[in-house]
Structure 1
Amino acid sequence: MSSSPSSQFTGYAAAWTIVFVWSFWLIVSRVANDSGLTIYDLAAMRYGLASLVALPLCLYYKPWRGLRLFQIAVLSFILGPVYILCVFTGFHFAPAAHGGIFMNGVLPLISITFALLLFQAKPSLRQVMGAALILLSAIVLAWDGSVTSEPDAWVGDLLFVIGAMFFAIYVILSERWQLSAMQIIFCGTVVNAVLYLPIWALWLPSGLADAPMGPLLLQAVYQGFVPNLIGLLLIAHASRSIGTANTSSILAAVPGGGGLLGALILGESLSWISISAIALLTLGLLISVRRRQPPPV
């Protein structure tokens, strides 16, 4: 079933909005290292603060009624602490630009691979060529980052790739299961808050009490409400409206945005090799995810 023109318009608008939002999220997450907060605090904000808004809505709409227990478990795990702690840890090792490159830039490549492995969906020649360029650019960026910026940047890059794997599965399931906004909020926020917050409060290290007020408020607003509420809703709507491939392609514009903001705001350097690799990555994305319109029936 094809989407209506209005649905496609809002789907593209949602995807491009999250590009801008996500580029700033990369910067905010990177500067969290200097706030005194631990990665466990950031995860607690992500689930705990968002659940303050989500819980009343979920109690009213009861989104669990349309989900099987298996779906709740899978979706909650994919959007849960393992995923986000990998990402936050990655920012301790690698620049903000690498977060965009290795989380968003490789999404089409990972989506193609998962579609082949899980659903036997064979990629086209165009997708294979684009995926090869994406892989090549990612290798160049990882090498350049380890040589010119931080020697342990490859550790962060690997953690970002793991995060991208989690997120690619989420995007695929959003389309295949046709998940509603409230179902995503319930699994991604409320369920994880119930499971994670007691563990964080009782056993995990925290710098919450000693964090300066300014950085604390910045992280609370951006980590607490942007990814788990605004971000997930926009991604889900885009995936349902314009498809996984188109959504992944637009989200993959984040590497350029993250690199530019990292250079402008954080003073992170981009060598000519990194700039060239980002250009190559963009070319690979344009090749791999561009879809032809289906013929009329």
Structure 2
Amino acid sequence: MTKATPASGGDGFVPSFRAGLAAALLTVAMWTTWIIGSRFAMAGAQPLSPALLALVRFGTAALLLAPWWWRIRLVPRRAPKLALLGLLFAGLPYQFLVLYGLHFAPAAEAGPLLTGTLPMFIALLSALVFRERIGGIRAAGVVLITAGVLAITGSGLLDLAGGGWRGHLLILCAALSWSVYTVFFRRSGLTGTEAAAFVGFWSVVLLLPLAAGEIRAAYQATPTPVLLRQVLVQGVMAGVVALITFTTAVRHLGAARTSAITALTPAAVVAVAVLLLGEVPGWPELLGCALIIAGVVAASGALAPRRQPG
């Protein structure tokens, strides 16, 4: 008996596990670098302007991916309008929520919350919006992720004066925004590059009228070497590479399997935060990270029995 080959879609696309795995692992590396780099930018007495960082991120994406958004038009005709609206949640909402969240919360806590809660929000959104059923294993994963979130945020909730709870709340809202993007990307019919081009272009269009003055002042006050580092981290890695690799992984593996692989991100962020930022997470944060990783694997559906081809 030969092994079943995944059927191609109407556009001739044939999923590849190796391509999806490589894209998911590269996403882990990009996300880890971006979270650490953003924490560097937002920590300290004089954090960089979130509006300037947003322009760097999406402006770089819009420039590098100009051929793609020009080809698909500013409003792609083949994509449902509701799906296009959902894609924009990966733009300014996600960017500002993460940056302000990292101003209040350390990377060792923000990383697990940001990337670890994605399967939970994706599962809940898929059930609410598209009536997808959450099986027993995935439901157990959601419970584990919730327990991990409570373990990480518990100390902050008990210390309201510390301000850490603000960062936790903002990071959770950012994870929800990215989950909205993930769910609607699957319905958009766009490729990863096309989605990245669409998000980058419209984020710049929406940002400039609202924050042109702040961006100009922040640009004049930011040293050139610092700005160039953020162009690499925010613009190239996060604004282009990460969005393309993530959506490519989702297209080849599906949102569930992709989330299971990107469960490596919380552990990677904690390790890098300890080595580079000197952050030392306590046992509640480490326990929460472990619970979230276990919950991600379960909630992603990776442990569910596979159906035999008919």
Q: CA deviation at 1:158?
A: 0.6
2:182: which partner in 1? Answer: 171
The change in CA–CA distance for 1:264 and 1:213 in structure 2 (over 3 A counts) is same
Write the distance in 2 (CA, Å) between the matches of 1:86 and 1:236. 21
2:50: which partner in 1? Answer: 39
Write the distance in 2 (CA, Å) between the matches of 1:110 and 1:203. 33
1:2 to 1, 6, 15: 6
Q: CA deviation at 1:177?
A: 3.0
2:235 to 213, 224, 237: 224
Q: Supply the AA of the counterpart residue of 1:17.
A: L
The yes-or-no answer on 1:158 pairing with 2:169 is yes
Deviations 1:41-96 (A, max 9, x none): 111111112211122343245472433444434423x1231221111100110001
Deviates more, 1:224-233 or 1:156-165: 224-233
Write the distance in 2 (CA, Å) between the matches of 1:198 and 1:92. 25
TM-score (norm 2): 0.87
2:66: which partner in 1? Answer: 55
2:11: which partner in 1? Answer: none
What is the identity percentage for the equivalent residue pairs of Structure 1 and Structure 2?
A: 27
Q: CA deviation at 1:238?
A: 0.8
Contact 2:78/2:189 (<8 A) preserved: no
2:149 to 121, 131, 138: 138
The change in CA–CA distance for 1:212 and 1:175 in structure 2 (over 3 A counts) is same
Write the distance in 1 (CA, Å) between the matches of 2:150 and 2:285. 11
Q: Secondary structure at the match of 1:123?
A: coil
Q: CA deviation at 1:212?
A: 2.4
Q: Secondary structure at the match of 2:17?
A: helix
1:75 to 63, 87, 95: 87
Write the distance in 1 (CA, Å) between the matches of 2:133 and 2:71. 42
1:27 to 10, 26, 36: 36
Write the distance in 2 (CA, Å) between the matches of 1:236 and 1:25. 17
Provide the alpha-carbon RMSD of the alignment: 2.5
The change in CA–CA distance for 1:144 and 1:36 in structure 2 (over 3 A counts) is closer
Write the distance in 2 (CA, Å) between the matches of 1:207 and 1:256. 33
Q: CA deviation at 1:135?
A: 0.5
1:257: which partner in 2? Answer: 268
Unaligned runs of 5+ in 2: 9-13
1:126: which partner in 2? Answer: 137
Unaligned runs of 5+ in 1: none
Write the distance in 2 (CA, Å) between the matches of 1:285 and 1:17. 18
The change in CA–CA distance for 1:154 and 1:195 in structure 2 (over 3 A counts) is same
Deviations 1:242-294 (A, max 9, x none): 11111112222211111111111000111123222212222222222214322
Q: Supply the AA of the counterpart residue of 1:21.
A: M
The change in CA–CA distance for 1:82 and 1:286 in structure 2 (over 3 A counts) is closer
Q: How many residues end up aligned between the 2 structures?
A: 296
